[in-house]
Structure 1
Amino acid sequence: MDKVIDRKQGNARKWSNQVLKEKFGLNEDAIPMDLADIDFEVAPAIQKALMKRASIGDYSYSYVPDDFYEAVIDWNQRRYDTYMEKEWIKLTFGTVSTLHYVIQAFTAIGEGVLINTPAYDPFAEAVENNDRKLFCSSLINRDNRYYLDFEDMEQQMRENDIKVFIFCSPQNPSGRIWTKEELYQLSELCIRNNVLLVCDEIHRDIVYKGRTFTSIWNAHPEIKQHSVLCLSPNKGFNLGGLKTSYVVVPNPTIRETLLEQLKRNSITSPHVFAVPAIVAAYNESEAWLDEMIDYVEANMQLIYEFFAEIPEAKVMPAESSFLAWINVQNWFKDETEMTEFFQRANLTMVVGSYFVQDGEGFVRLSIGMPRELLLEALSRIKRAYVNSLEYASHVIN
């Protein structure tokens, strides 16, 4: 994982000189810490599988073969004790676009959709771009840890006639892993109020040692029949460019409704390299994933230690993923000042206001990178911080 690769060569959006300049006002030497992908070379088995597939020389329309379903079923059973059947699984290319299809399929214009905030902004976009009404239930920040407000969620479900609840597990941006008890209570709310639960579990492949992740289906005996499960190897294996996301829907009525919507949106042939990549990831790359998780967790420990020396910052302890969620409201007076600070440090980041609501005063840093890059990024933050202190002292004196 220590190997630093030139991601500019592969036209990675995160490392694009054009994006760094136009979106962030930074030069080509910037270290990007915004986009939620990792900066490691993918697992050798995946590279080998793609090279083998590329050597065939046929990149025409494809279909989903049985080895895809077998790999998905085995991975979810082995890794998460989650039972699936082939008929339940549908490759849908991207989780974000899938959320749009779900909203289109199960709600009408003007109907209500609920999310927890802070939340990944495309959750809100999937609702509002389709002319549905967005409702937000704020997570409770207690002792620097997020909790679900069950009373508020149920009140919103009843008062606003919520049809769909989009839920993130583990939570993005904080990396919070919900307990089995919390997931059970959440499932009860959805079942009792006849709300379709759309559960995004795409960050679950990166769970730190000593932490227990529970899939929503293992939290409640009936929630399978009231939910759509969104899964993807994209975060754990860095396959975002291959459109490898999929949904799993056990309830035949819900499944047929969604499949009809996918047909209306012309979701047909998969990316020609998607299936071999997924199969190689799930069947041959588990040891690589475990090694990467340990590496990222060590990176997160560096983050804790570094920001412990900056009294104005408070990192929310993460239990999963490669995203550091940091409270900086005592550091910067507003996001303009925050943005200017990171520009001086020649780093990208995501401002808290991006996360729909309740994120103001926070910054998210993507730290799934070789240690050399992370240490350089932290060094830049330290220099910018010291310079700001010296400037403030000079102004005061």
Structure 2
Amino acid sequence: MKYNFDKVINRKESHCRKWSNKVLKDKFDLDETAIPMDLADIDFECSPAIKDAILKRASVGDYSYTFVEDEFYEAVINWNKRRFNIDIDKEWIKLTFGTVSTLHYIVQAYTKEGEGVLINTPAYDPFAEAVENNNRQLYCSPLKLMNNRYYLDFDDIEAQMKDSNIKVYIFCSPQNPSGRIWTKDELYKLSELCLKYNVLLVSDEIHRDVVFKGHEFISLWNAHPDIHSNSLVCVSPNKGFNLGGLKTSYVLAKNKKVRETLLEQLKRNSITSPNVFAIPAITAAYNDSEEWLDEMTKYVEGNFEIVYDFFERNIPNAKVMKSDSSFLAWIDVRELFEDEEEANEFFKTAKVTMVVGSYFVKDGEGFIRLNIGCPRATLNEALKRIKDTYKKLYHNKFSVSMNIN
């Protein structure tokens, strides 16, 4: 590989939330030696092109108000066409201050208090917060779990659209926490339902940049010829290129009426000039960091193979869901732990942080999420701690041989 993803960087120096000693103590009651695998960012140094672009911009010494330059639009248009075969016009693109806050604006713009918003569960908790914090009604359609893989329940989705006052459907593609990539046929069926019941389909596609070999990400707009008339696509380079701290993302809105409604809401929320480093960082990511992303994706895919093998050989009563994308391992631990209290105690003993399934709104109980977007040395140390803790606490409970090297 051209880039060194085995390099361990000291993220405590950057005061990032994930590795903060204070956060580890306050949130997990762990000391500075803990390995955090909870927050969804990666532990690799960003691409050299992004770092150079930010340093160049910083060297100017002027950090005042900015505006969105044409180079940003050109980078977005070219990236979406080259990587995902999506044709986009400049007018359809709106830069915003992060996807989570944007979901709040979308709920505010397209629904009234008391009206319904649909999500699939388990789901990223801020999906629900965007609904409930704005006094809207949250509706959940559980994903069907079959052979340790998630599927959409179209009958349930349609029943809820038909019987409830649902105006917006926030849809995660690829799915967080499982990394499931939806097929073109699934997206087509979903689009048909939203068009039939006049439900605005909001496709959160922020995890689409990290896709593993043998899988193809299909954007919503390439799945149905008419869904662009009643949809928004939320995109961000934050996951693939680790730019979450810049608090930047963008929304694609092709339909003029839908777009103007969003722009009016963003104006009410005073969403104006972007982060001073946002434009150079995104431009460098999309124009000059594609090789870095491809190599990072391959490296993370290798991490998944290590994790699959580790649990299958050493803790087979914990079942890792096969992931199509991203760097988040979703693990079924219902046969391992009695409840989440036991799971929390186990990982606290191991000094490894994770996210319990109940965080994901509902239907995630009995699962945990581990972030494995990290150098192999970090991953192997975390797995060793998990193995040692398992052997210590469950030596007599399960008849499993401990033979990891």
TM-score by length of 2: 0.96
Correspondent of 1:286 among 254, 266, 290: 290
Asked if 1:154 corresponds to 2:158, the answer is yes
1:341 aligns with one of 327, 341, 346: 346
Matches of 2:273 and 2:222 in 1, distance apart? 31
Alpha-carbon distance in structure 2 between the residues aligned to 1:257 and 1:180? 28
Q: C-alpha deviations, 1:134-161, integer Å up to 9, x for none?
A: 0000000011110000010000001002
When the two chains are superposed, the root-mean-square deviation of aligned CA atoms in Å is 0.8
Deviation of the 1:392 alpha carbon: 5.1
Equivalent in the alignment of 2:217: 213
Q: Give the conservation status (yes or no) of the 8 Å contact 1:75–1:282.
A: yes
- Matched AA of 2:289: S
Deviations 1:282-313 (A, max 9, x none): 00000000000000000001110011021220
Q: Does 1:141 align with 2:145?
A: yes
Find the counterpart in structure 2 of residue 364 from structure 1.
369
Aligned residue number for residue 402 of structure 2? none
After superposition, the C-alpha distances for 1:309-353 in whole angstroms (9 at most, x for unaligned) are 212200111000000000001100000000000000001100000
| CA displacement, residues 78-130 of structure 1 (integer Å, 9 cap, x when unaligned) | 00000111111011011000000000000000000000000000000000000
- Provide the secondary structure at the position in 1 that maps to 2:395: helix
Quote the residue 1:242 is aligned against: 246
Deviation string, structure 1 residues 181-200 (Cα, Å, up to 9, x no partner): 00000000000110000000
State the alpha-carbon separation in 2 of the partners of residues 177 and 340 from structure 1.
32
**8 Å Cα contact 1:244/1:275 also seen in 2:** no
**Among residues 310, 319, 338, which one is paired with 1:314 in the alignment?**
319
- 1:150-181 deviations in Å (ceiling 9; x for gaps): 01000000100210000000000000000000
Structure 1: any 5+ residue segments left out of the alignment? none
Among the aligned pairs, what percent are the same residue? 68
Amino acid at match of 1:352: G
Paired residue total: 393
| Amino acid aligned to 2:145 | N
SS in 2 for 1:207: coil
- Tell me the amino acid that sits aligned with residue 20 of structure 1: L
Is residue 169–residue 201 contact of structure 1 (8 Å, CA) maintained in 2?
yes
Aligned partner of 1:384 in structure 2 is 389
Match for residue 332 of structure 2 among 327, 347, 353: 327
> 1:112: which partner in 2?
116
3-state DSSP class of the match of 1:364?
A: strand
Matches of 2:385 and 2:272 in 1, distance apart? 46
CA distance in 2, matches of 1:307, 1:173: 18
For residues 296 and 246 of structure 2, the distance between their equivalents in structure 1, rounded to whole angstroms, comes to: 20
Of 254, 258, 264, which aligns to 2:258?
A: 254
Superposed CA deviations along residues 352-374 of structure 1, whole A, max 9, x for unmatched, are: 00000100000000000000000
Q: Is the 8 A contact 1:115 1:165 kept in 2?
A: yes
Question: How far apart are the structure 1 equivalents of 2:172 and 2:99?
Answer: 12
Give the whole-Å Cα distance in 2 for the aligned partners of 1:109 and 1:33.
Answer: 37
Q: Does 1:353 align with 2:358?
A: yes
Instruction: Letter of the 2:394 partner, please give it.
Output: L
The answer to whether 1:42 aligns with 2:46 is: yes
Match of 1:101 among 100, 105, 116: 105
Q: CA deviation at 1:389?
A: 2.0
